[in-house]
Amino acid sequence: MLHIVLIEPEIPQNTGNIARLCVATGTRLHLVGPLGFSIDEKAVRRSGMDYWERLDLRTWESFADIERAHPGGRFFFLSSKVQRAYWNQSFQEGDFLVFGRETKGLPASLLNSHQDTSLTIPMTEGTRSINLATSTGIVLYEALRQLNLAGTPRR
């Protein structure tokens, strides 16, 4: 199993879309507060469609809490502020893919303390960022591809 970690997400529709992605891929979703919305909001559930009840969801007060609960976990921090491309990382089952807030990304303190495991999605010059749900899907499916866990294609 892979893990998606959203630190202080702000837009309920993004979290709902990511929840649906997690259900479709058998990935656990971790939400680290404070959240910019209630997970009971209709917007989150509408974006997550009827998959919300099938979601493997964990909530955390802080990132330190999730790190303490998974002391041997491999955490990868996705940011537009670093240089190493995500496709240069060899992913393993059990890895945590960590994404920050839509408006600010991950805190500089996390990126500074995890430089060796910080990754980016390369973009053209002058592009600030890619939508959080899109970014999550890009990196998650690369990890699944490497692990050959993407499931059986449908016709």
CATH number of 3-147: 3.40.1280.10
Among 6-20, 35-49, 64-78, 93-107, whose mean pLDDT is lowest? 35-49
- What pLDDT digit, counting tens, does each position of 45-88 carry? 666 667 888 999 999 999 999 999 999 999 999 999 999 999 99
Average pLDDT over residues 132-142: 97
Judged by DSSP in three states, 6 sits in strand
Model pTM above 0.75: yes
Relative to beta strand 118-119, strand 28-32 is unpaired
Judged by DSSP in three states, 19 sits in helix
- Backbone φ, ψ for residue 49 (5° rounding): 55, -150
Domain ranges of the chain: 3-147
